[in-house]
Structure 1
Amino acid sequence: MIHFEDVVKRFGHVTVLNDLNFDVKPGEFVTLIGPSGSGKTTILRLLMTLEQVTDGKIWVAGGCLSHMKRGDRFVPADDKHQRVVRKRIGMVFQQFNLFPNMKVIQNLTEAPVRVLGLSRAEAEERARELLELVGLSEKIDAHPTQLSGGQQQRVAIARALAMRPDVMLLDEVTSALDPELVSGMLALLKDIAQTTDITFLCVTHEMNFARDVSDRVLMFDGGQIIEDAPPDKLFTEPDHERTRSFLAAVLDRG
């Protein structure tokens, strides 16, 4: 579902991702862990086309996101091509990014109507189902400013699901929440992952969540994957000393 092929990303003279190769299978839940600055969030930004690759290619659901065919060769993709491929991807950010001037239901229906071409009635029916899923049916006519941080993040998740993505990207989705709200948010995401066939790629510092819900965990350091293993293996018997020292630090801090 996701394929990174020899991906390099540089910012000026700084190489953030270095010849990165990895795959995420359909329906898999893969979590990226590692120290700050190791390149994890850059991967999500490349998939959302908020950044462009310096070298290499990215594929999503069989289509090339980073490049397009021109004759018999690949050239860097233009905005139109990337918008088409990006329709398969949803993202939930650290910050909620809701439209403050729109009611909750409008936040959920605007993109499906404009981008997916759904009728207003169909989009609203889907929105009501998703608000029920995230436990916010009674907030359908509220504005984001009338919601708590946890409620806003649930609306953001519902909004991403409203686009019917094949791939969902999660970027530290609990980092802006009060600690007592974190467990409920992670339980919701686990339920969505287990009851849908969506492919998840998640960046998180919540190690217990990564261990509990992931099919695979990738440990990043210096722009490269240094370990790729099921969570039971990576969290109990990591092969790499850097993984052991990272986990010792974050688990002790937790």
Structure 2
Amino acid sequence: MEREPVPAPADAAPAAGDWMIRFDQVVKRFGDLTVLDHLDFHVRAKERVTLIGPSGSGKTTILRLLMTLERVTGGLIEVDGRPFSHMPGRGGLVPANEKHLRVARRKIGMVFQQFNLFPNMDVMRNITEAPVRSLGRSREEAETRGAELLEMVGLADKAHEHPARLSGGQQQRVAIARALAMEPEILLLDEVTSALDPELVAGVQCLLRDIAQESQLTILCVTHEMHFARDISDRVLMFDRGRIVEDGPPEQIFGEPREQRTRDFLQAVIEAG
């Protein structure tokens, strides 16, 4: 797919706002379908931002671009003040190659809707394999950290179980520990409780609230759980058709939304619940 040209920014240093994530006129198309339409948005370092909106509005595409599972069609993504989707080339910036992306995404961890654990590995191996292979940690060092993380997520006694012997909620806790084991600066959460049985949702949400409040992570979350969005967020963005409709603190978005589209969406969520 042909990508729109991107000029090099005048200064690659972090902006005065200290943005950790910056989307600058980002376009993402799948064939004739425009999923993100010249999107501008920013997330500050250590800020917790939640994306809400109807299915198909582009929320998960944002996370997939940050995980380099998709490439931008146009525009520029920066992470920690440096080009992420692109890299320096002759005459400006050019689309990033795999080496650039591999280094750039080390700052980012993601917890997916589906747990994506390796079924042939026990819990400890699921958590430690990437730190050993990608971060160069010794097996002993990785397992020490893995034990700490399992303690934190309440699964200290499950280190040598295989995923098939765990409940959905336990598997998602392992996935959270695995993401944190990579020592990310940014944590992406993609509908992390939507695949769980209702009685397991509260426990995982409580764990993530504790992580959000106690860590120094920048968190970008996509969820249809409005109570969770209210609790975990410093800022909430309402998306529709690849654009931001409304941007504000959770008490304003959920208490006094300014835009009719936001009010309609929240009313539909309440009625569906």
Q: 1:36 is matched with which residue: 30, 55, 68?
A: 55
1:164 is aligned to 2:173? no
Structure 1 residue runs of 5 or longer lacking an equivalent are: none
Residue aligning to 1:5 = 24
Moved more, 144-153 or 67-76: 67-76
The answer as to whether partners of 1:207 and 1:251 remain within 8 angstroms in 2 is no
Moved more, 71-80 or 17-26: 71-80
1:82 is aligned to 2:108? no
1:174 is aligned to 2:190? no
Cα shift at 1:63: 2.1
Residue aligning to 1:133 = 152
Counterpart-to-counterpart distance in 2, 1:253 and 1:211: 18
Cα shift at 1:121: 0.9
Cα shift at 1:71: 3.9
1:58 is aligned to 2:77? yes
One-letter amino acid of the structure 1 residue matched with residue 186 of structure 2: V
1:47 is aligned to 2:73? no
Residue aligning to 1:221 = 240
One-letter amino acid of the structure 2 residue matched with residue 94 of structure 1: Q
Counterpart-to-counterpart distance in 2, 1:95 and 1:14: 25
Give per-residue Cα distances to partners, 1:174-204, cap 9 Å, x unaligned: 0110001111110000000111000000000
Structure 2 residue runs of 5 or longer lacking an equivalent are: 1-19
Residue aligning to 2:89 = 70
Give per-residue Cα distances to partners, 1:53-104, cap 9 Å, x unaligned: 0000111122211000014410000011001000000000010000000010
Give per-residue Cα distances to partners, 1:106-125, cap 9 Å, x unaligned: 00110001001111111000
One-letter amino acid of the structure 1 residue matched with residue 231 of structure 2: D
Instruction: Give the percent of matched residue pairs that are identical in Structure 1 and Structure 2.
Output: 67
Counterpart-to-counterpart distance in 2, 1:71 and 1:222: 34
Counterpart-to-counterpart distance in 2, 1:198 and 1:135: 20
DSSP 3-state at the match of 1:170: strand
1:250 is aligned to 2:269? yes
In the alignment of these two chains, the number of paired residues is 254
DSSP 3-state at the match of 2:244: strand
Counterpart-to-counterpart distance in 2, 1:218 and 1:162: 28
Counterpart-to-counterpart distance in 2, 1:105 and 1:61: 30
The answer as to whether partners of 1:31 and 1:202 remain within 8 angstroms in 2 is yes
Q: 1:94 is matched with which residue: 113, 117, 135?
A: 113
Q: Compute the TM-score of the two structures, normalised by the length of structure 2.
A: 0.92
Cα shift at 1:252: 2.3
Q: Compute the TM-score of the two structures, normalised by the length of structure 1.
A: 0.99
